[in-house]
Amino acid sequence: MEKKESDAVKRIREQLESYNKSDKSYAKHDPSIYFNTLLKDGEESATKTVRILPGEDGNFFQTVYLHKMQMGKQWPKFHCLKHNFDTNCPFCEANQEYYSKGDKENKELAKKYNSFPAYVLKVIDRDNEDDGVKFWRFSHDFTNKGILNKIQAIMESKGDITDPKEGRDLTINIVRDQNHNPIINSIIQDDKSPLTDDKDKAILWLGDKRTFVDVYKTRDYEYLEIIVKTGLLPVWDKEKEGYRARTENDGPVGFNNNQAKAKEEDSSSSTNGEVDGNKADDLPF
């Protein structure tokens, strides 16, 4: 006998299906799906509260490999094609090429094309629950004092804080460092609490199957090759129906206005490893 689906279950199922389907298109993404720990202009500190969602495989974060390239004050990031997708990557090729020359100068140059790990967590931003699931991306901290280290330390002492019934929210305190860059001062666990009392929300949030691939743009080989060769973002060529290298006629800026507005600071000049985790990692480049 066919089991009859209740209206409520049907509604949730349909909602979930459209949720997982519609957001697959990168073009439809709006900024509200990215969580960040930046501060607004004039803001000296802020507190944000998030609930980390459990991962499907028991891992609450995904590791993603990125490249970055300085463009003026901006450091846009790109998915490494080799380490994420096991295919040819222009950044990694440039890295290899310089490194294989063997001398100190070229080895130093090679670093510019290194890939580095970052982490992607799915969170509910308690101040903006209506936005639904948000993606929080931050870079690995090689001093082991980064955001992930802090969260893992809490997990070790308090158990699985991502548990939907008995997990915990996290309070993130953000301040500015001596260079005026936002940094995470502390991450503190709240008392145990359910993810939500709303069953519909729980099903929707926990049923979100998106991964970093769905929400952060992956550029192809040709696009990345132009960046490696020119150090600038490519421009769209209508006639060619493809990307090409920027010329003088395209103007001096490698970013569109929205991108330029986003704050991104140079982490390498900072002594605090956490800055890297606070930069505009939410930008979907």
- Residues 94-133, one symbol each (x = binds Zn ion by CB under 5 A, - = not), give ---------------------x------------------
- 69 touches Zn ion by CB under 5 A: no
Judge contact between 49 and 171, C-beta under 8 A.
yes
Residue 220, helix vs strand vs coil:
coil
Total interface residues for Zn ion by CB under 5 A: 6
Cα 148 to Cα 146: distance, rounded to the nearest angstrom: 6
Binding to Zn ion in span 218-247, by CB under 5 A: none
- 89 touches Zn ion by CB under 5 A: yes
CB atoms within 10 A of CB 183: 21
Cα 21 to Cα 31: distance, rounded to the nearest angstrom: 18
- 78 touches Zn ion by CB under 5 A: no
- 140 touches Zn ion by CB under 5 A: no
Residue 106: CB minimum distance to Zn ion, A: 18
- 91 touches Zn ion by CB under 5 A: yes
Residue 174: CB minimum distance to Zn ion, A: 30
Segments in 7-166 forming alpha helices (H): 7-22, 81-85, 90-100, 104-110, 147-158
Q: Which region, judged by CB under 5 A, interacts with Zn ion, from 78-86, 140-148, 157-165, 238-246?
A: 78-86
First-to-last CA distance in the chain?
A: 50
Judge contact between 139 and 116, C-beta under 8 A.
yes
Residue 235 phi, psi dihedral angles, 5° rounding: -115, 150
* Binding residue for Zn ion, selected from 80, 120, 174, 280, defined by CB under 5 A: 80
* Binding residue for Zn ion, selected from 48, 68, 77, 82, defined by CB under 5 A: 82
Nearer residue to Zn ion within complex by CB, 47 or 106: 106
- 92 touches Zn ion by CB under 5 A: yes
* Interface with Zn ion (CB under 5 A): 80, 82, 89, 91-92, 115
